[in-house]
Amino acid sequence: MRIARVQTFPLFLSKEDADNSYAGESAVEHRGYMVKPPWRSLYSPGYETLIVKVETDDGVVGWGEALAPVAPEVAAAIVDRLLTPLIVGEDPRSVRTLWHRMSESMRERGHLTGHQADAMAAVDIALWDLWGHTTGLSVSELAGGRYAEVLPAYVSGIRGADDAERAERAAELVEAGVRRIKLHLGTDVATDLATFDAIAAVHPDLDLALDAHWTYRLGQAKTLGRELDERRAWFFEAPLAPEDVGGHHDLAAAIDTPVAVGEAMRSRFEFADWLARRAVSVTQPDIGRTGITEGLAIAALADAFHAQVAPHHSAAFGIAMAAGVHVAASSPSLLAFEYQPLTLPVANRILTTPLEVRPDGGFVVPSGPGLGVTVDEAVVREFVRG
């Protein structure tokens, strides 16, 4: 069995196609993309992602996906031009060997970061999926087994025009059984605390986390963090600029609320630095950026430092989500898996059978071979941007 062909599908779903937009109603147009002040990153006006299909000479197929929420054509070009020649003709079951070959190929050129890492993640996920189909085993079984069949999960993000509207939405979730919520904030200390308090008042047993989207400086983050200590917050995510490891260490030492970081990182080496410096206690690798091979290594590293794992998941579709769920299920130090109810229907759009989240927020681990999901290739091709 040898890899015969690799295909890339950069997808774009408009706001109308998806009946939603990851940027939300507060975003404003910015040179072809969207921005959501005070957050710094670009967002798509709809949904974008990169899908990769790897096929063997005897017709076995594996599907992968990169978290590529803007310009998926960039990661697609890396797969087409740089990674495909490295794996065609090889045994697809040699997943770790091929991962090493891909990462070593660009060692002097940012081999562990940015679009290069995103492209490798998509190929790696496809190889694990393919491997599972050749054995009849799921990814989590290939990784050594699952710690749970239904994962603890948390609702990420509550939209609303004001705190009263957001509280109403939170009350609906609580009524359904949800007890873990993360707020997407980062405006200023007073505003963030007002929103936090409005949602916290919905139910006394709510685990409530705050994602600041990297907007604060250290002094402000300490002020907010101490207030979160008083409120017994679940965790404080992305408080400072993602390159400020020392600042995160100082913050973590100054507050009791766990500091959560990880969506901007892509390798075990980055996480090792943060963990060794005690700058993070909840690690959040996004498997659409790390791939399964590296994601499992990051989870094992976090466990060695007695840190917890809460895999990040935002705008990627069902393939990356399924990969993240399998890595989460294989992690002994799992805290919870992230999901966003408003993006879940979009994530499921390319699957013939949807990923299942129970009303109380439990994420069901797919049990079929590989990723345990079946991709509707006709739908994938429908939304290719060419």
**SS3 state at 48:** strand
Average pLDDT over residues 217-221: 98
| Mean pLDDT, rounded, for 66-86 | 96
**pLDDT above 70 for 359:** yes
* Interval 229-242: pLDDT, tens: 999 999 999 999 99
How do residues 305-333 score in pLDDT, each as one tens digit? 999 999 999 889 999 999 999 999 999 99
Crossing angle of the two packed helices 287-304 and 268-276, in degrees rounded to 10: 40
Share of the chain above pLDDT 90, in %: 85
55 bridge partner residues: 5, 61
Res 9: pLDDT? 98
Residues linked to residue 211 through DSSP beta bridges, in sequence order: 184, 237
Among residues 321, 335, 334, the alpha carbon closest in space to that of 365 is found at 321
pLDDT value at position 386?
A: 66
Q: What is the pLDDT of residue 174?
A: 96
Percent of the chain with pLDDT over 70: 99
The residue type found at 336 is: A
Going from the N-terminus, what domains does the chain have, and what CATH number goes with each? 3-136+378-382 (3.30.390.10), 142-375 (3.20.20.120)
Statement: residue 365 has pLDDT above 70: yes
Q: What is the pLDDT of residues 126-145, one digit of tens each?
A: 999 999 999 999 999 999 99
Stretch 107-125: mean pLDDT: 92
90 has pLDDT over 90: yes
Lowest mean pLDDT of 189-198, 254-263, 351-360, name the range.
Answer: 351-360
Question: What confidence score (pLDDT) does residue 19 get?
Answer: 80
pLDDT single digits (tens) 232-275: 999 999 999 999 999 999 999 999 999 999 999 999 999 999 99
Q: Please state, rounded to an integer, the average pLDDT across all residues of the chain.
A: 95
| Cis peptide, bond prior to residue 204, ω within 30 of zero | no
Predicted pLDDT of residue 253:
98
Residue 23 pLDDT greater than 70, yes or no: no
Q: How far apart are CA 157 and CA 293, in angstroms?
A: 28
CA–CA dist 370, 90 (Å, integer): 19
pLDDT tens digits, one per residue of 164-185: 999 999 999 999 999 999 999 9
Question: Residue 172: helix, strand or coil by DSSP?
Answer: helix
Q: What is the rounded CA–CA span in Å between residue 23 and residue 241? A: 21
